[in-house]
Structure 1
């Protein structure tokens, strides 16, 4: 082997290293471009709205029609509370109303009689008044005639007696008339009481309906911790009902990835329980506040997203709520880990650029 060939063999080949560097740079650029054009995160989970199923009335459960983790449809029977106390309350209210309805005509007849009595008393007062006026006029005419001898002293005394008697009868008639008018009470109080009883009947009827609790929407029963015979209180949750009509994926994205995301931005999600099935969706809303965890006061009610690297400045993450199209009810569970990929559209980029300018 010649010296020239020996030197060429010993010279290191640099092109594989250069090719590796170029490929690495291209890969880095591709990753950066991909992250910029399609933000992706595995810090996500499945979410659905929930309510605590609470009865409107208190009592013992006599029929529990569901079991834990059961799927239900809107209107399905969930449980029944002993209806007897509310049935009895309804019966009492109806009986009281019937009794009052029977009492009102009797009272009305009594009132009518009292009214007639008052009218008769007024007539008696009028007659007594006329008699008293006549006696007074007679006495006034006779008094000047006694000096001329046209009337005797006995006639004058009889006239005075007649006047006093007429005035006494007038006072008695007036007293009776006042008593008769005071006795006319009317049925207004009974009519007002009837309105109260009618309201009690409607309330008892409503409470009886509340004793039967039905599903307000399609959902799934969870956290069922009761059984037949358990006493439940009004406004106290018996179990939780997941609203399965709408499923979401809450994706916690870095703040520097939010610029091109808008409500309506398309997304692709999949669950860690089955990574082979992809679901499409759209951004429903973007969070506008999280607990900053900077040592200051905690922002009550805000999402608490833990930063994983405390000694390096890490971009804050904000929850992005993605509405899932056609979710599989067999796979979606509340809190299931998920992966979300956002697909910002071109007009979102233009809108973001315009907002920044």
Structure 2
């Protein structure tokens, strides 16, 4: 009997037909391809987000001037004796807080007291001589031409005038002696802190004009921020400023008080002939100059101790173009007794 061959559409015995299988073999390959694209898509999304964040930060950086090159500054009064002598009293110590008029040091006043006494005696002598010559001149002027000559009158009048001039000179010497005596006591001209007192010791000889100590004025602190010249167009007087000191976490608030109108120009320095000395080397990469911008401190927390020369980071918040006028300045009240 002839054997019947299986039909191509009929599966062999023990196998099922794949025509009704809902998952063709190509689907697994498609899923694999999609899985391979996920890292690429993820990387693209992360790169896009990073680029957007960088763009936002860049716009914020360009629109909000800031610098880490900031310095705390204050007015410093340098004290030097106006008379010479040995220091007999030194009533302050280094870094002591003093008020206006407090006695800082005293120079031996004995020689200056003697000078005052001598000047006073010279004034009394000149006064007596002038009074005598004035009476003689008045007596001659009262006489008639028969009793005294015109030449004698002129002589006595001139003598009285000379005596008056000597009297005025002695009075001026007396006043100078009194001033020098008062200068033996050096008192504080401002309220602040004594600094660098190592230059003076009790018993030292103080020379006229030689620095003895310095005072940091308490209510004169400000912050200088050195901004690149490319950022100056965004900075205006009165703009609010945020200040971070390097050694403190507290944030200080202030505002722009002014922009410096000049810095040193090396090419403008005159040479020996008086002409400008110009550097012949010009680099292709030109660094932006830094210009000082002065920030007024609106308030200082009581636990923040300001020191001249401290490092600060400054960020300025430019006002809108329509805003005008600067906020009223408030006196800085640093932490002091």
- Using structure 2 for the length normalisation, give the TM-score: 0.74
- 1:226 aligns to what? 200
Q: CA deviation at 1:261?
A: 0.7
Q: CA deviation at 1:344?
A: 0.6
State which of 5, 9, 28 in structure 2 corresponds to 1:5: 28
- 2:329 aligns to what? none
State which of 121, 146, 156 in structure 2 corresponds to 1:122: 146
Are 1:284 and 2:310 counterparts? no
Contact kept, 8 Å, 2:126 with 2:170, in 1: the verdict is no
Q: CA deviation at 1:54?
A: 1.6
Are 1:318 and 2:294 counterparts? no
Q: CA deviation at 1:64?
A: 1.3
| SS at structure 2 position matched to 1:228 | coil
Contact kept, 8 Å, 1:246 with 1:323, in 2: the verdict is no
In structure 2, the gaps of 5 or more residues are 1-22, 272-282, 326-337
In structure 1, the gaps of 5 or more residues are 124-175, 301-309, 352-357
Q: CA deviation at 1:37?
A: 2.7
Are 1:187 and 2:160 counterparts? yes
Residues 1:220 and 1:211: Cα distance change in structure 2 (over 3 Å): same
Within 5 Å, which residues of 2 pair with 1:86-235? 86-111=112-137, 119=144, 122=146, 184=156, 186-224=159-197, 225-235=199-209
Q: CA deviation at 1:62?
A: 1.4
Q: CA deviation at 1:325?
A: 1.9
Q: C-alpha distance in 1, partners of 2:153/2:167?
A: 25
Residues 1:114 and 1:348: Cα distance change in structure 2 (over 3 Å): same
How far does the alpha carbon of each residue in 1:308-337 deviate from its partner, in whole angstroms, 9 at most, with x for none? Answer: xx8844322211111112235752111111
Contact kept, 8 Å, 1:45 with 1:250, in 2: the verdict is yes
Residues 1:22 and 1:202: Cα distance change in structure 2 (over 3 Å): same
How far does the alpha carbon of each residue in 1:208-250 deviate from its partner, in whole angstroms, 9 at most, with x for none? Answer: 2222111211222222221012222222221222222121111
Q: C-alpha distance in 2, partners of 1:292/1:111?
A: 69
Within 5 Å, which residues of 2 pair with 1:28-107? 28-107=54-133
Q: C-alpha distance in 2, partners of 1:196/1:339?
A: 60
Matched residue count: 285
State which of 201, 221, 242 in structure 2 corresponds to 1:247: 221
How far does the alpha carbon of each residue in 1:183-215 deviate from its partner, in whole angstroms, 9 at most, with x for none? Answer: 645522212211111212222222222221112
Q: C-alpha distance in 2, partners of 1:35/1:299?
A: 39
Larger Rg: 1
Greater helix proportion: 1
Q: C-alpha distance in 1, partners of 2:82/2:118?
A: 21
**Greater relative contact order (CA < 8 Å, ≥ 6 in sequence):** 1
Residues 1:58 and 1:321: Cα distance change in structure 2 (over 3 Å): same
- Using structure 1 for the length normalisation, give the TM-score: 0.70
Contact kept, 8 Å, 1:273 with 1:331, in 2: the verdict is no
Q: C-alpha distance in 1, partners of 2:212/2:48?
A: 63
